[in-house]
Chains A and B, each alone.
Chain A
Amino acid sequence: MLSAGVAAVAAGLAPLRKLGEVGSVDEFLQKYYKELTPEEMKKVLARIEDEVQRQYGVRPHVRDYKPMNGVEFVYTLNLTRCVGCRKCVYACVAENNQSRNPEIQYIRVLKLPNDGTFDMDKADHNYQPKSVPEAGFFYMPVQCHQCKNPPCVKVCPVKATWQEDDGITVVDYNWCIGCRYCEAACPYFARRFNFTTPSIPQDQINTNMSYLGNRPRYKGVMEKCHFCTQRTRAGLYPACVEACPTGSRQFGNILDPKSSVSYILKHKRVYVLKAELGTLPRFFYYFDV
């Protein structure tokens, strides 16, 4: 009787063995990002490298890039030049190890009629003509605006997302509980949720990873554009800037008066999306006049 009971319990618990996605004890006991000492961080990064190698078969180099002193990132986008080719979207996917299937993309390019109305209800993101740009339309790529007053950070119940000193709002994928409040709070549709374990072909993994940036995400966590922390905090341009064939996209340090973004903010008539919400984006659009 007792042995039959034990066997039944064992059979009942058998499906638990298939729950391979449940993390390790170390992962479960990991401390909050801001409380980690450098030694603990080193162990965490090594553990994540092991995890990625086990899952994807590629040994990555995961680092924890910190913000630089005297740097505040600003992004500008020239809507006169943007042709809507979506190269930025795919450069971003490749750089940031986003799930290919189901598809997760940080940048959404909107096609808007050039009729002076600027009516978002007329926007179309499924356009697929033979050739872009199409006459009578302009294209507006939208991604995370890295707001100075971010509504997504305010609503996070566990402080898994916060704004760093260089203006980048980041997510700790190990701390996120996947409640998706931030997704609802964001007025720009900048945040994406991993409904399932991301799938990335092994040969397309970008092994240059950062803890708060492009390391592979877990099932059930939020992710978002982080201005390519693994690139920009090393002094490089983000992948979307590099990919833009028309030079519509510009990026730089607004605290440097000689930077291109300082020039654009001084000389162009820039505007922000949904300024009335008071989110104070660091992402500026403008038209060449």
Chain B
Amino acid sequence: MTPNRNTTIVLALLALVYASLAFSFVLVPARPGFIKRAPLVAQDTLDFAPGTIRVSASQLIHGGGDASGLDCYACHHQESPPVITYDADHQIVLPKEHTDLIISMRNCAECHPPDDPVKLDYDAAGVVVVPKGHEGLLRMAHGRNNACFNCHDREQLNQLHTPEGVKLTFEQATLLCASCHGTTYRDWQAGAHGRTGGHWLRFAGPFDRQECTSCHDPHAPRFTGLIPLPGPHLLHPLPKGVANPPPPTTD
């Protein structure tokens, strides 16, 4: 049986169409720049440095905060101050080893060594008189617990005590916190509260555990705000006020 003349024509046409399709596939290269490349989001390794949330030098400086109150001399010697370098934006360039360093703005021991305890003055009502030049040095924001001697010893400020009268050192501050925040302490003991790092498989290696005061300032335990890292972009709606990137060019 000879094939129909029309069938032959249709088959030939179809073959031609497919051949041209295959040929054009090879001829037309993939369009470069079809997906618009957006400028890179500035990624700072400090953004996910394993430091704690308590005001660290890097956070403060890179967040545009006032670094003048930072106490460099808690470690550095007054006579041989550290060499400070500045970048193009007149920001202090922090050495790598300082990335996770927490620099306290309230290091009493800098001026008051433990062997020379502070003598406190009281007014008629029995409230501590803040010495001149010390105003604003200490921010008290611990809710109802706003009296010094709820936690500090009346005679020796570097000695702590619980409401029950158990004497504790600064290193045992977590136990002092636990005397009021029992439920949080229970969570912390079980590993459910506080920053976690290291090994979940305990016998495989060390496990990072933070004490209360590594993250919380005992005088103002509530965290101050953080600067959020940039949100998602490119293939998704942009925040209000941000212009859309130009549509992709189809050379």
Contacts and interface: CB of A to CB of B under 8 A. Distances in A.
A50 B198 CA distance: 31
Given A85-B228, A86-B229, A247-B195, A12 B27 contact: yes
B237 A89 contact: no
Nearest to A132: B228
A102 B228 contact: no
A107 B72 CA distance: 37
Given A12-B27, A85-B228, A242-B50, A250 B35 contact: no
A128 B225 contact: no
B226 A103 contact: no
A250 B197 CA distance: 10
Interface in A28-87: 76, 78, 83-87
Interface stretch (A143-151, A167-175, A209-217, A233-241): A233-241
Nearest to A197: B35
Contact of B48 (A83, A90, A199): A90
A234 B197 contact: no
Contacts of A85: 226-229
A250 B191 contact: yes
A128 B230 contact: yes
* Interface class of chain B by DSSP: loop
A74 to B, nearest CB: 11
Nearest to A88: B48
Contacts of A155: none
Interface stretch (A113-121, A156-164, A180-188, A259-267): A259-267
A25 to B, nearest CB: 20
A237 B37 contact: no
Given A128-B231, A131-B226, A263 B190 contact: yes
Contacts of B193: 247
Contact of A133 (B190, B225, B236): B225
Contacts, number: 162
B29 A15 contact: yes
Contact of A103 (B52, B225, B233): B233
A24 interface: no
A235 B191 contact: no
B10 interface: no
Contacts of B48: 87, 90-91, 94, 239, 242-243
Of the candidates B41, B191, B238, the one having the most CB atoms from chain A within 10 angstroms of its own CB is B191
B54 to A, nearest CB: 9
A125 B191 contact: no
Interface stretch (B80-88, B148-156, B200-208): B200-208
Interface residues of B, number: 52
B195 A245 contact: yes
Interface string A252-270: 1100000110011001100
A245 B46 CA distance: 12
Nearest to B184: A288
Of the candidates A103, A105, A204, the one having the most CB atoms from chain B within 10 angstroms of its own CB is A103
A86 B231 contact: yes
Contacts of B41: 100, 103
A155 B34 CA distance: 29
A217 to B, nearest CB: 15
B196 A253 contact: no
Interface in B91-145: none
B237 A87 contact: no
B43 to A, nearest CB: 7
Contacts of A5: none
B196 A127 contact: no
B225 A132 contact: yes
Q: 6 shortest A-B CB distances, which residue pairs?
A: A131-B225, A235-B204, A260-B191, A235-B201, A263-B190, A91-B48
Given A76-B192, A126-B232, A243-B50, 11 more contacts: A16-B26, A83-B225, A85-B228, A94-B43, A101-B38, A102-B234, A105-B232, A130-B227, A196-B35, A253-B201, A267-B192
